Amino acid sequence: MLPTPLHPAPELAAAFGVSRPLWVKRDDLTGPGLGGNKVRKLEFLIGQALDGAADVLVTGGADQSNHARLTAILGAAVGIEVHLVLGGDEPSEWQGNQLLDRLAGARLHFAESEEWAVLEERICGVAQELASQGRRPYVIPMGGSTPVGALGYVAGFFELLDQLDAAGVKADWLVHASSTGGTQAGLVAGRVLAGRGPGILGVDVAKGGPHLQERVRDLVREVFVVLGVDKSLAATDVATTDSGGSGYGQVTEETARALTVALRSSGLVLDPVYSAKALTALPSLERGGALPGDGAIVFLHTGGSPALFSGRYANEVLKRGGSV
Ligand SMILES: Cc1ncc(COP(=O)(O)O)c(C=O)c1O
């Protein structure tokens, strides 16, 4: 359901103490399956799977993976079987994203581990098993962050530029939650191709460190190869910041507070793993000079709210003061 809305958010800026004009790009409203950033990637990934005559999609992620949910739902919509490898153990109660995984008819494999390396290995194992049965699996790495998946956000960046131009808004920065790097890589590649537009700042929702930046750089270069363009990447093109050192999926008091403040001030439903962490970082990024310029800031809402409706995250958010 593109283009997704872009709207000014003065109440949100006031509630978070952001002094510059703040706009929100609503990629939580991309459409099918309760939306989110993965819809843009999967449009291209599932397109490639169908072009290659695949008859089954295999992917995975954390126990409450948004990417897994949307692969299950979009796979069902185009009539292709989906196998998901999910972190942790089979739950006794079905909640949040996992409920939708099941309702969409995906075959679920529980990795009994949260380790990304274990999940990736299990995804390959499931694909090999299916291939040995004569099936034609298309493997989507966790997060859908391949150069083809990132193309969704190359297009997304041009969509945003059109909207900013139409609204007459000069935006200096686009801030968003970054994890497997595909969203950011697509946006950065789009900006390099356009030669203009807001700088991209990815808020690392895991522990931080240099890994994400390197991953985004590699992916951008691969996107240029896929597009057949000869472009180079400047050192400043890829900017990331950590989200205060809490690990992936660790709900902090700040995150829980951001979630409720966004809901009460603007009716925005965030999630505690990605979007609330990115929004939490915004005021201190502005104050600390990480967002130079005086133009507007765009917050890209990447979705993820279904995870909030799982016992795990609902209880964490309440425990950390989310209802106060
Ligand atoms: C809601 C949400 N926001 C942001 C991200 C980060 O996107 P990426 O993995 O492309 O960095 C993800 C997925 O990991 C997500 O599910």
> pLDDT, tens digit, for every residue of 94-121?
999 999 999 999 999 999 999 999 999 9
Q: Crossing angle, helix 311-319 and helix 253-266, to 10 degrees?
A: 90
Residue 144: which residues within 8 A CB-CB, separation 6 or more? 38, 41, 42, 45, 59, 67, 71, 180, 182
> pLDDT, tens digit, for every residue of 168-197?
999 999 999 999 999 999 999 999 999 999
- Ligand 1, pocket-test mutation among 26, 183, 216, most atoms within 8 A of CB: 183
Q: What is the pLDDT of residue 276?
A: 96
**What single-letter DSSP state applies at residue 292?**
-
Phi-psi region of 200 (alpha: psi -120 to 50; beta: other; left: phi over 0): beta
With cut-offs at 50, 70 and 90, classify the pLDDT of residue 246. confident
List the 296-301 sheet strands across, edge first. 6-8, 22-26, 296-301, 171-178, 199-204, 239-242
> pLDDT, tens digit, for every residue of 261-308?
999 999 999 999 999 999 999 999 999 999 999 999 999 999 999 999
Q: Are 242 and 221 in contact (CB under 8 A)?
A: no
Lookup: tokens for 55: 């008859």
> pLDDT, tens digit, for every residue of 29-51?
999 999 999 999 999 999 999 99
State mean pLDDT over 246-263.
92
Q: Whose CA is nearest to atom 16 of ligand 1?
A: 66
Cα 143 to middle of ligand 1, angstroms? 7
- Ligand 1, pocket-test mutation among 302, 308, 313, most atoms within 8 A of CB: 302
- Ligand 1, pocket-test mutation among 27, 28, 30, 37, most atoms within 8 A of CB: 37
> pLDDT, tens digit, for every residue of 63-72?
999 999 999 9
State mean pLDDT over 233-250.
86
Looking at ligand 1, which atom is closest to the CA of residue 149? 10
Listed residue (137, 118, 115) closest to 128, CA to CA:
137
Looking at ligand 1, which atom is closest to the CA of residue 61? 14
DSSP 152-198: HHHHHHHHHHHHHHHHT--EEEEEEEESSSHHHHHHHHHHHHHT-S-
> pLDDT, tens digit, for every residue of 137-175?
999 999 999 999 999 999 999 999 999 999 999 999 999
Asked if residue 210 has pLDDT above 90, the reply is: no
Residues with C-beta less than 6 Å from any ligand 1 atom = 36-37, 66-67, 143, 145, 177-184, 271, 274-275, 302-304
Lookup: tokens for 102: 């099941």
Q: What is the pLDDT of residue 229?
A: 98
Cα 128 to middle of ligand 1, angstroms? 27
Cα 273 to middle of ligand 1, angstroms? 9
